[in-house]
A and B are shown apart, each in its own frame.
Chain A
Amino acid sequence: MEVVLHLPVVPNVELVAAKAVETLGGALGMHQSHVEAASVAMVEACLNAMEHGGGPFTVRLRSDVQDSRPCLVIDVEDHGQGFDPATAPQNSAARVIGSSMKRGWGLTLIRELMDEVQIRSTPGNTLVSMRKYVESSP
């Protein structure tokens, strides 16, 4: 199973991608709480692509059942200026409580909610690749 979405930058378009996660995750037999975790990670990846990608972006979802651990694979690709994933800050509650800067949670949430995350970024192309295992920790 594979779904490819070419998405424009319009309000709430991330919900289209989240709906695809729900559909494929359900078809894989993934627990509802895992589907919802992957949906929130997908929403954050789409918001980052829209905010930093500078234009339409692409979402690919597929089920990987060949591996010993079946999973849902999600790729979100944009064509913005890119960034260095190694220096992207890990956000924390201590940093934002009492501060006027409360944004910047996307990558932190993606890393916490998904089982595997890989980011490749060069000027003009950023690919966030995420996996959520069917049998996953909550």
Chain B
Amino acid sequence: MNEERIKISQDLLSDGFGVIAASGYINNEGGQAIADAANKLMGQGCKTLLIDLDGTRIINSIGVSILLEILEKLMDEKGQLAFCNLTPTISKTFEIMGLVQYASVYPDRETARAAIAGDASV
């Protein structure tokens, strides 16, 4: 089950745009690891956060509940949350749990960056 252990990388790009790449099982530990990375980026001025779940195939509702808390925190800061590289099941789970009603979903990182950059220029 080692391949399910969450692996996280994070990067703060220009204009308050942050990216977290997370692969592995998003359970309470995985969700908290993403939340810790998000808090760190937000502390550095991140207002737009993209979470790239390439390599994540299994999640649970406890982990997704933690992602909902990240969403609320960003909404409180007038920021925005986006996801990319979701499997169909993760996308459906996010839809059921309300994440996609408040966050944007893109097929891949390049599309997400282009769309977010376009939003910022409006």
Seen from chain A, the residues whose Cβ lies within 8 Å of a Cβ on chain B are: 12, 14-16, 18-19, 33, 36-37, 39-40, 43-44, 47, 91-94, 96-98, 102-103, 105-106, 108-109, 112-113, 138
Q: Which residue of B lies closest to A103 (CB)?
A: B65
Interface of A is mostly: helix
Partner of B62, one of A19, A93, A103: A103
CA distance A113 to B89 in the complex (A): 8
Chain B residue contacts of A94, Cβ below 8 A: 98
Q: How far is the CB of B54 from chain A (nearest CB, A)?
A: 15
Q: Are A39 and B58 in contact (CB under 8 A)?
A: yes
Contact with A along B1-39 (1 / 0, CB 8 A): 100100000000000000000000101000000000000
Interface of B is mostly: helix
Q: Is B88 an interface residue (CB 8 A)?
A: yes
CA distance A89 to B74 in the complex (A): 28
Q: A15-B1, A37-B89, A40-B93 are in contact. Are A93 and B98 (CB under 8 A)?
A: yes
Q: Are B89 and A40 in contact (CB under 8 A)?
A: yes
Chain A residue contacts of B89, Cβ below 8 A: 33, 36-37, 39-40, 113
Q: Is B68 an interface residue (CB 8 A)?
A: yes
CA distance A14 to B92 in the complex (A): 20
Chain B residue contacts of A108, Cβ below 8 A: 96
> Which residues from 57 to 93 on chain B have a C-beta closer than 8 Å to any C-beta of chain A?
57-62, 64-65, 68-69, 72, 87-90, 92-93
Chain A residue contacts of B102, Cβ below 8 A: 97
Seen from chain B, the residues whose Cβ lies within 8 Å of a Cβ on chain A are: 1, 4, 25, 27, 57-62, 64-65, 68-69, 72, 87-90, 92-93, 96-99, 101-102
Chain A residue contacts of B69, Cβ below 8 A: 102
Partner of B97, one of A39, A105, A138: A105
Q: Are B58 and A43 in contact (CB under 8 A)?
A: yes
Chain A residue contacts of B93, Cβ below 8 A: 40, 109, 113
Chain A residue contacts of B99, Cβ below 8 A: 93
CA distance A109 to B51 in the complex (A): 22
Shortest 5 CB-CB distances between A and B: which pairs? A93-B98, A105-B61, A102-B65, A36-B89, A33-B88
Q: Are A37 and B92 in contact (CB under 8 A)?
A: yes
Partner of B88, one of A14, A18, A138: A138
Additional pairs, 20, CB under 8 Å, beyond known A12-B27, A93-B96, A112-B92: A12-B1, A15-B25, A15-B58, A18-B58, A36-B57, A36-B90, A39-B89, A40-B59, A43-B58, A43-B59, A47-B60, A93-B97, A97-B68, A97-B72, A97-B98, A97-B102, A103-B61, A103-B65, A105-B97, A109-B97
